[in-house]
Structure 1
Amino acid sequence: MHHLALYPQCGACTDMIFRHERVVALFGKEDDSSSYLGRTEPFPFPDAARSVASVNGFRLCRFPDCKRCAASPQFMPIHCDCFEVFRKCCGEGVDASARLWTVAAWRSPWRRAPPIYLASETLEADSLRAIADIARLPQLYELPTELLEMVRRYSEHALLWRAISARSLAARVSATSPNPLLTLSLDDILFWERGGELERRDPGRPPLSSSTMQLTIDSDGIRRVERPSPPSPEVFSRGAFAYVVEDQQAIAKLEAQFKDGLLRLVLPRGQPAPAPRIWNTPNPPDMPRCETFMRGATGLSPARLFAVDADHRATGITFFFSAGALFGVHVHVPHAPDATPAFRRFSRARRRTMVWVYLPLAPRHDPLLALGVRRSPAPSSPAILARTQRGAAHGLPDVVIGPYLPGPARDHVVNRAVTGPPITLVYSEPLQGRPIPFFGACVRPAGAAAASRTRPGAPDAPAEPPFAALEPRAHPLGDGAYFARAPLAGVAAAELFYDEGGRFCRGLLLRYRGGARRALGQCRVHVDATARVAEPRGLCHRLETRARGPRRTAYAVEVALRDGAGDHGHRGEEGWSCHRLEGMLNFWFTDVSSFIEIDS
């Protein structure tokens, strides 16, 4: 039985497809999928696990790099409601299914490329007005753009926005005529941009001086092909574009397919070489200079690689852990201040066990000097290591967050000089509900030789000075606990992060007088309710236990920060333990429990 390979992205609206949402799948001819062949009956989108369900004689499959899927026709899933909106809004005489197939298939930079979730452009005004009128929300299109985008952000997966996207797509398709398929060698293309003219290389001219080819990708697929000389100096993209930046000898022999004003690449079947890397930046780091902290054992190519400098734009990093494995990374920057969009891409089942581990950054005041991971001799997921300039100068312990790994351990760290370039964090998007395939770091070439004491190919090179080992300590949360610690002395301000009920403490963010910051527990920045206290004088906490099944106990902790010497609100209540701000605060946590202990 042929497999029906599915990725959780709608080919019409480009939004995510969630489990059990009704979809249809358009499919192309089996040989090269360059033309439309048919569509399936509607079916509920399956879970990421292996499925035994089938539709129209095809087995539904979401298993990455499945060999049976590779031998099957290419399928493009479409929300049923998006398909209906698109079909009804297409003009007369338009073969809606065939045109939608081409648009959906050419959104991928090449056949079977994993989906790339990119920010779409501003809503098209005519479609916004038309759909808002149908939904009896005429005031929606009267909102200022900033307010409209805010509403959209807080309801990003709603049918309203998907319908607007589907109608806009139908309008664009109806305004153009279909073109026949044209195939060229990528080496013959000097420049191409969607909606513009194709510039082809003159075979009689000498070879081009530029050795780099750059492909710019947006939510509609490949947007531009060029040979920049020199390469673009931009380091970080705002999320609307992705890039392929490769030596022209590595990809010039690939073929490019043009159809209906769109372009996609054709990778040779059975090619042992990996697909081109897709980056978030047109200026990616040189991968041989980067240290690999974690690499997936599956050998799967990541959907997209991210390279983010820990410079003045980054205010923190959230690491998503589940069952001890790293499933995602979000770098907090001004245009992406919270990690909610990354969290929503996980399945509902995975979200229930997800733990948010936050590493605060203050590059202008407290630059990151070292970043790495710690591995225990016993099989376990690595913990995250970090050292900052002011933290080290003021005698604060190094940051060790993530899975609790006491005792002997092996550290793998990238260091930088105080005056050198920032550390560049390199990581990949997760694939189909699996842990991320790649996580590493490097220092940009301008200062790499002097700034990094960790050489490529030397994974055990130590930090200078080495990170301190954690002493084994008894705690009630078991082997799957996560851990963070920070001193209480010298705290200038603190921020409490609460759970959904607003009573129990989920995390603590401490700011010290020297400018350093430390996070403990789950600090879900710009997501959870918080309370800030300036110049706290003491910390009080109370532990509560709750049964979770016949043999499981969950722990929750209430925390109160005293900002004066008087009564602090729980006098006479049992179970509270109050401390001056001195000693070390130890914080263990899981997806359902929190437990703290203070060393005097």
Structure 2
Amino acid sequence: MVVAVHYDCFRIFQAESASASFDGTKEDAGDVGGGTQDAKNAKITQDAQNSQVPQSDEHQTGDEVLERGQNGKPGGAHALLDWLWTVGAWRRPWPSAAKLRLEDAGPAAYGHAELAVFARMAAVAGLVQLTTLPLELAQIVYELSAHSLFWRAITVHCLCLRALWRRQQQQQQQLTEPLRLVPLAKILSWERGHALHVADSSSALSLSLLPPLIRITVDRVGICRIERRHEIAARPWNGATTTRLAFIVEDARILASLPFADIQGFPIWNLSLPPDPASCTLVGTTSFRRVLELRRPPPSQLYAVDVNRCFGLTFFYLSGRISGVHVHRTAKDDARKTYERLATRVKERMVWVFLPIGLDDRIVALWACQCDGSFNIVARMTLAGDVMIGRARKGSFRTMLLAQGDHIMFVYGEPFESKAVEILGAYSGKVQPREESHCITQSVVPAVPSAISTQFPDTYVSSAPLSDVKAVRVFTDKVKGICRGLLLWYGNGGVRALGECRICVDESLLVKSPAVICYRKLRYRAYRYASHDGVVVDAGGATQHHHAEDGWTCHEVGRGTLHFHFTTNRSFVMAYEQ
């Protein structure tokens, strides 16, 4: 095992390590620098002005700096390297552990130590003006360049300073004990930068009186907190999730009974209090059976989403399987970040299926549906009605009620690299009655209409009524010259999607109070040598109109149903049904 640190990052650490200090704690945003943003900005600017890289230390090797130690005295190299090696070796807590895609809070949540490092790094990089910006603007700069070497150098620098701080604490307290392993079942509490509290192992009674649950909190750096918790099964879920922390909550008896070599992993949630698996309906997307045991096989990270607190969900489909899910937390949140994480060799053939959720609309029921080997989802909304996500039906289908109620949490397992989503489900805090599990009619899971000529096996369906349409947004691929999808807003507040609606990715045109929706079929080159079906769409405000080209089909808004089907080979076909 090798702990790799970028040379430039470590070189800056060498130059600054003699004068830097690290308190081992990280304060919450808004509590740093006197409690005001101005005080924090002034502190950053002053640190940047006072930060100068000592010329005498600039060309020292890492071994020389480590041998010198924090106070300029020899010793400490082996302990520091041992600590850094352990950090690198335990980046993954068990074999084949899922890669956690946690976000960093950025400058807005920096503590005293991070602010000082931020100022010094900006001075070394010649970006002193960055430290003079208000933290709100510095946060915007961070979000636009989060993967740059500058921000990663701050993380590495803080890691090295934490190692020096730990060594200094040991020297002050005259501690010589090496790193040791402690069973999780015996840990009372621990927080990064603080002492470890362990239960009295000599008394079995004291261990039995401990709270039954162990919660492990993980941030982008690693495990940051371990604590004992009492079971809070009756506490209602308030919809709060996080993208910056992950949580593992397990029964201490399970952890105590497992030898280390047998640990294969535990479910990792974005909820501080995950639901009981027995009350959360999870289904395997391949087997179409309820998942009751989340520990075997090794699970992926489980994401919970309050479907009534987001603007919609984008599902990435390939061959009838869901390969990824993106949650649109704002109206302008695009799904490219999730799309880029998918397997490169196949993501070009994936289709984007968007499930919009109106501001005043609510999802009150979710079903899983298996049609000819394809895994589909049916959502029942109070305003938009029943909407199906997935491939067209060719034969019989099976359904399973996932959840129903006013507060539904959608759950999916983040897939491993190059894999499809294996677990999907929902939770409402209520026991789902079995008689409600087959209340989906065949009209909700449509087949390919006879008016649509495409017979491509991987065809995805979308339909929307044209009655009471108040606005329509047309998404156009300008390079190919075709329409990819439409969003329709209705008078009651509901929203329906047709085709591929790639929010903030494709160019779009909003037409309010449309009177007609017109489309024209064409053939276009989706790839270099292949020619496929395409469609051009135009929405206008007047029923009496004229098109310059032939072949247009026009339908008045107010009656009928519009079908928009699309395939993984980039064919787009529309049809109208009276």
Regarding TM over 0.5, the answer is yes
Task: Tell me the TM-score range normalised by the shorter chain.
Answer: 0.7 to 0.9
Question: Does the CA-based 8 Å contact 1:407-1:472 persist in structure 2?
Answer: no
Matched ranges for 1:61-210 at <5 A: 82=6, 84-86=8-10, 89-90=13-14, 91=17, 92-93=65-66, 98-110=82-94, 112-123=96-107, 124-132=114-122, 136-177=126-167, 180-202=178-200, 203-204=202-203, 206=206, 207-208=208-209, 210=211
Change (3 A) 1:483 1:156: farther
Confirm or deny: 8 A CA contact 2:476 2:485 kept in the other structure: yes
Alpha-carbon distance between aligned partners in 2 of 1:230 and 1:285, rounded to the nearest angstrom: 11
**TM-score, length-normalised on structure 1?**
0.73
**2-side partners of 1:243 and 1:268: how far apart?**
20
**2:368 pairs with 1:373:** yes
Of Structure 1 and Structure 2, which has the larger fraction of its residues in helix?
A: 2
Determine which structure has more spread, i.e. the larger CA radius of gyration: 2
Alignment CA distance shift 1:153-1:556 (3 Å): farther
Map of 1:544 onto structure 2 = 522
- Aligned-pair CA distance for 1:137: 4.5
Q: Secondary structure at the match of 1:288?
A: helix
Q: Is the 8 A contact 2:363 2:379 kept in 1?
A: yes
In the alignment, structure 1 residue 326 sits paired with structure 2 residue 299 = no
1:101, CA displacement in angstroms?
A: 3.0
Which residue of the partner structure matches residue 403 of structure 1? 391
State which of 377, 384, 388 in structure 2 corresponds to 1:391. Answer: 384
2:266 matched to which residue of 1?
276
More off after superposition, 245-254 vs 319-328: 245-254
CA drift of 1:169 comes to: 3.1
Which structure 1 segments of 5+ residues have no match?
Answer: 1-26, 28-38, 40-75, 255-266, 393-397
Give 3-state SS (helix, strand or coil) of 1:238's partner.
Answer: coil
Change (3 A) 1:355 1:463: same
1:483 Cα deviation (Å)? 1.4
> Is the contact made by 1:99 and 1:173 (CA closer than 8 Å) also made in structure 2?
yes
1:351 aligned to 2:347?
yes
Which residue of 2 is the match for residue 213 of structure 1? 214
Q: Following TM superposition, by how much is the alpha carbon of 1:192 offset from its aligned partner in structure 2, in angstroms?
A: 1.0
C-alpha RMSD of the superposition = 3.2
Q: In 2, Cα distance between the equivalents of 1:464 and 1:586?
A: 19
Q: Residue 118 of structure 1: CA displacement?
A: 0.8
Pairing of 1:270-309 with structure 2 (within 5 A): 271=262, 274-295=264-285, 300-309=297-306
The offset of 1:112, in angstroms, is 4.8
Q: Is the partner of 1:85 in helix, strand or coil?
A: helix
Secondary structure of 1:382's match? strand
Change (3 A) 1:480 1:151: farther
Aligned residue pairs: how many? 487
**3-state SS of 1:587 partner:** strand
1:583 and 2:556 correspond: no
Using structure 2 for the length normalisation, give the TM-score: 0.75
Q: Does structure 2 retain, via aligned residues, the 8 Å contact 1:427–1:438?
A: yes
Are residues 353 and 137 of structure 1, via their aligned partners in 2, closer, same or farther at CA, if it must alter by over 3 Å?
farther
Bigger strand fraction: 1
For 1:63, the equivalent position in structure 2 comes to none
Q: For 1:354 and 1:173, how far apart are their aligned partners in 2? A: 45
Question: Which segment drifts farther, 537-546 or 160-169?
Answer: 160-169
Structure 1 distance, partners of 2:136, 2:475, is 28
Question: CA–CA distance in 2 between the matches of 1:500 and 1:164?
Answer: 41
Q: Specify every segment of 5 or more residues in structure 2 that has no aligned partner in the other structure, as ranges.
A: 18-64, 68-76, 108-113, 171-176, 288-293
1:190 is aligned with what amino acid? L
Q: Is the 8 A contact 1:214 1:226 kept in 2?
A: yes
SS in 1 for 2:137: helix
**1:280, distance to aligned residue in structure 2 (A):** 0.8
d(CA) in 2 for partners of 1:336 and 1:578? 31
Is 1:572–2:548 an aligned residue pair? yes
Report what 2:400 is aligned to: 412
Measure the CA separation in 1 of the matches of 2:179 and 2:332: 39
- Identity rate of aligned residues, in percent? 31
Aligned partners of 2:281, 2:516: CA distance in 1, in Å?
A: 42
TM-aligned CA deviation for residue 215 of structure 1: 1.1
1:237 corresponds to which of 223, 230, 241: 241
Q: C-alpha offsets along residues 220-246 of structure 1, whole Å, 9 cap, x if unaligned?
A: 211111122354866532211110111
